[in-house]
Amino acid sequence: MLTIRRSEERGVAEHGWLSSRHTFSFADYHDPRHMGVGPLRVINEDRVQPGKGFGAHGHRDMEIISYVLDGELAHQDSMGTGSVIRHGDVQRMSAGSGVRHSEFNHSETDPVHFLQIWIMPDVAGVQPSYEQKYFDSESKRGRLRLIASADGRDGSVRIHQDASVYASLLEQGDRPLVHEPAPGRLVYVHVARGGLSVNGVKLSAGDAATIDDGSQVVLSDAERAEVLLFDLPV
């Protein structure tokens, strides 16, 4: 079955320095109908004003992926890791037994626009760890590029969960992309920007679709789209 989650249905948080849209229940936004899909627990679309950000705070037992769409996001954590991520970078932090980190807009002049993604791990209490990799636009253009997986295959970042995350850049006129999930798997498609059709249903930026019957997923009719596809256990 195909279930659509429209952008305007998401939770809203406006804090002046931060404008956020919550696909699933998060912080002050709670909707028991939208608590996540499989182990996928959070997709927050955040826009942070110049020089602002999230001060040091703690996490445990969560796989946290940051995916920048525009701008620069600075990261610092209690493991001693410090970095700046930009479009094309994928940052993975396994919180495990406990870690503290901060995230700030690295620019004093331009906003940063990014997705913060949380995936529940399949093992608790692991040693916290950090990983960052760059995936250039050509590697995602017209194809599903694996960016996160349980085994780190194909150069993806490694997460503690039987999940595979793909990114794609699609233009008008590109051939349809087909993803064939294994039996019993869930697929979640999130449109980060632009538009495209998922199994014939048109989606725009911020929209998403869940496919929970094991059927193939067809991405077509793209209009300058950037999309993330999650292949998940039930």
Instruction: Report pLDDT digits (tens) over 179-219.
Output: 999 999 999 999 999 999 999 999 999 999 999 998 999 99
Whole domain around residue 168: which residue ranges? 2-232
User: What's the number of CA atoms in the CB half-sphere (13 Å) around residue 232?
Assistant: 22
* DSSP state for residue 139 in the 8-state scheme: H
Instruction: Report pLDDT digits (tens) over 141-173.
Output: 999 999 999 999 999 999 999 999 999 999 999
Distance CA 24, CA 18 (A): 18
Q: What is the CATH number of the domain that holds 74?
A: 2.60.120.10
Instruction: Report pLDDT digits (tens) over 50-82.
Output: 999 999 999 999 999 999 999 999 999 899 888
Is the pTM higher than 0.85? yes
* DSSP state for residue 108 in the 8-state scheme: S
Distance CA 43, CA 46 (A): 9
pLDDT at site 27: 94
> How many independent structural domains does the chain possess?
1
Q: How far apart are the first and last CA of the chain?
A: 14
Task: Give the type of residue at 233.
Answer: P
Per-residue CA distances from 191 to 102, 121, 165, 213 (Å) = 26, 24, 13, 20
Closest to 223 (Cα-Cα) out of 171, 161, 179, 165: 171
User: Is the separation of the CB atoms in 159 and 202 below 8 Å?
Assistant: no
- Characterize the bridge pairing of strands 145-149 and 53-59: unpaired
